[in-house]
Amino acid sequence: MTGPRWKRPTIAIVKAAVAALVLWAVGRHVYRTWNDLAARGVDLHFDPSWLAISGALYLAGLSACGFFYGWILRAGPTPIGMIPALRAYLVSHLGKYVPGKAMVVVIRAGLSMPFGARGATAAIATFYETLVMMASGGLVAAAGFGAVTGSGQVTLDIPGWGPVDLPMYRLASLAGLALGLAFLAVVAPPIFGRLARFISLPIPGVGPDAMPGLSSGLLGTGVLATSIGWALLGASQLAVICAMERHGVSSALMVAAPVVIASVALATVAGFVVAVMPGGLGVREGVLMSALAPTLGADRAVVAALVLRLVWVAAEVLAAAVLVPILRPGRVTPDAHTGTNPSLPAEVRPNP
């Protein structure tokens, strides 16, 4: 009887601690960003309707990637409905502001399990979706910068050669392509399957039965869905820039759209690769400011990047505040908790 008595209060304490940690990390993140804007003497006057559109586009972009997370779970031993999968996906993004990025996995798996997903499968699906998103982000950045014919330059001081002017967008396109291909190699089903099995060996209770059924078709669908997500995330940055403009959308801004989308994609992938800072803080903004500067000018690029961060955080908090209380899990069968799916024939159910 000791176990059941302690189980419920222990779970409640852990959930409260996780919530407090996430809220503290998000608050610290917003505080730092706001101070960065204040330190630059920025007078924050923006069209609120465009900022609202930016937040909506951001959530739409995340949802496109969230659908892929749901599809991965559906290819596994314990599929769940798409609405619970999207809820878990959107809410879990608040965890990326906690250093180490592990909190995203904890939150997403924790929100998926009450609806029938196996925790190990949800964790694997989270890793796979994230890596596929990074792969498509690199490819989107390569395509966006490669389509630009502008003359943005970057000066590098090469030992033995001195300062050398190089085409910035060409370098950015090559960097995106290299990152995209590297991540794409990792998420190829045969390679990722071996990596996942190797990583899961030391973890008790996690074995091949927890792996989703990965395939080239699922990977192709994921690359397409997350590419759409990147386009929407880039459109979110465009909406922030429109909020800064007196006349809103301009023809010059639409011409710059490929650069803006590519900049957001490359900056976010770079922020993910440098996993030291929470949510890519600092790295993402630095890359985004540099990539946008030839198009917007240095000062406006800085403001656009910092305001985008505030809009995204606000959208994530609002989404979590709406989604957490409105959807509650129904009764989950014991089979779902042990990692089996009652809808599967007995002979193909994985062993718990």
pLDDT digits (tens, 9 = 90+) for 41-79: 555 567 889 999 999 999 999 999 999 999 999 998 889
Does the pLDDT value for residue 273 go beyond 90?
no
What's the mean pLDDT in 115-119?
A: 88
pLDDT for residue 327: 74
337 part of a folded domain: no
Band of pLDDT at residue 1, cut at 50, 70 and 90: very low
- The per-residue pLDDT for range 125-178, each reduced to its tens digit, is 999 999 999 999 999 999 998 887 655 555 444 455 544 445 677 888 899 999
181 part of a folded domain: yes
Question: Which residues make Cβ contacts (< 8 Å) with residue 91, sequence separation at least 6?
Answer: 107, 108, 111, 319, 320, 323, 324
- The per-residue pLDDT for range 225-272, each reduced to its tens digit, is 999 999 999 999 999 988 887 665 655 566 678 888 999 999 899 888
Band of pLDDT at residue 202, cut at 50, 70 and 90: very low
What the block records as the tokens of 318 is 């609002």
pLDDT for residue 226: 97
23 part of a folded domain: yes
Measured between alpha carbons, how far is 103 from 124 in angstroms, rounded to an integer? Answer: 14
- The per-residue pLDDT for range 286-321, each reduced to its tens digit, is 777 777 777 777 777 778 888 888 899 899 989 999
Angstrom CA distances, 173 to 57, 176, 200, 264, 291, stand at 24, 5, 35, 13, 11
Angstrom CA distances, 292 to 8, 264, 288, stand at 50, 9, 6
Measured between alpha carbons, how far is 104 from 141 in angstroms, rounded to an integer? Answer: 24
pLDDT for residue 40: 55
pLDDT for residue 37: 54
Band of pLDDT at residue 282, cut at 50, 70 and 90: low
Count how many Cα atoms sit within 13 Å of the Cα of residue 35 in the half-sphere of its side chain: 6
pLDDT for residue 17: 55
340 part of a folded domain: no
341 part of a folded domain: no
97 part of a folded domain: yes
Domain residues for 35?
9-329
Structural domains of the chain, count: 1
Measured between alpha carbons, how far is 284 from 29 in angstroms, rounded to an integer? Answer: 13
Which element (helix H / strand E) includes 165? strand 162-167
Band of pLDDT at residue 207, cut at 50, 70 and 90: low
241 part of a folded domain: yes
Band of pLDDT at residue 332, cut at 50, 70 and 90: very low
- The per-residue pLDDT for range 212-225, each reduced to its tens digit, is 888 999 999 999 99
pLDDT for residue 339: 40
* Cβ count near 213 (within 10 Å): 12
Q: Give this prediction's pTM.
A: 0.77
